[in-house]
Copies of this chain bind each other. A is one copy, B any other.
Amino acid sequence: MQFSKSTDYALHALIHLGHSERCNNVGIKELSGALGVSESYLSKIMSKLRQDGIVRAVSGVNGGYELARPADQITFLDVIQVIEGRQQLFECSNSSSRQHRLLAEEGAAQRDQNRPRKNECLVEKVMNGAEQHLHQYLQEHTIQSVLDEAFKRCSHEVNKK
């Protein structure tokens, strides 16, 4: 249970793009150099980010990448979901076991119209809750918020001198 390196790379690439907003179109060479990741692999990742509308790309001479929307509208969750996929944190695999029938719900939810929960069992309820908490936190942090804090630290450093 760990985020993949690709997610790491994607985040850093986006931070780099956000930091270089003024001079549009950062090429894969520059990104690759800054992050220390091969051009081949990184371009795969950038391609994914483009397909999901996180960045824009233009081919040809002087082409490259730029953020498709303001950095404060690109959340950590967005990036993670593009790279890692949108599968649930927990996905039950044996819902046909004896135990499921004994200890889950079945009875209560079906007849109760005021709660249109599909078939959420007690284990899934805990795990989905965990996922929601995680997502909410990750949604509150954006590429911009990292840049802001970096800038704050930097100017604080200058003031001290």
Chain A interface residues (CB < 8 Å from chain B): 1-5, 7-9, 11-12, 15-16, 19, 33-37, 76, 80, 84-85, 87-94, 96-99, 102-105, 107-108, 122-123, 126-127, 129-130, 133-134, 137-138, 141, 145-146, 149-150, 153, 156-157
A-B contact pairs, 17 of them (CB 8 A): A1-B2, A1-B84, A2-B87, A5-B93, A12-B94, A34-B97, A34-B98, A35-B98, A36-B97, A36-B99, A104-B150, A108-B153, A108-B157, A122-B153, A130-B137, A130-B138, A133-B137
B2 touches A123 (CB 8 A): no
B15 touches A99 (CB 8 A): yes
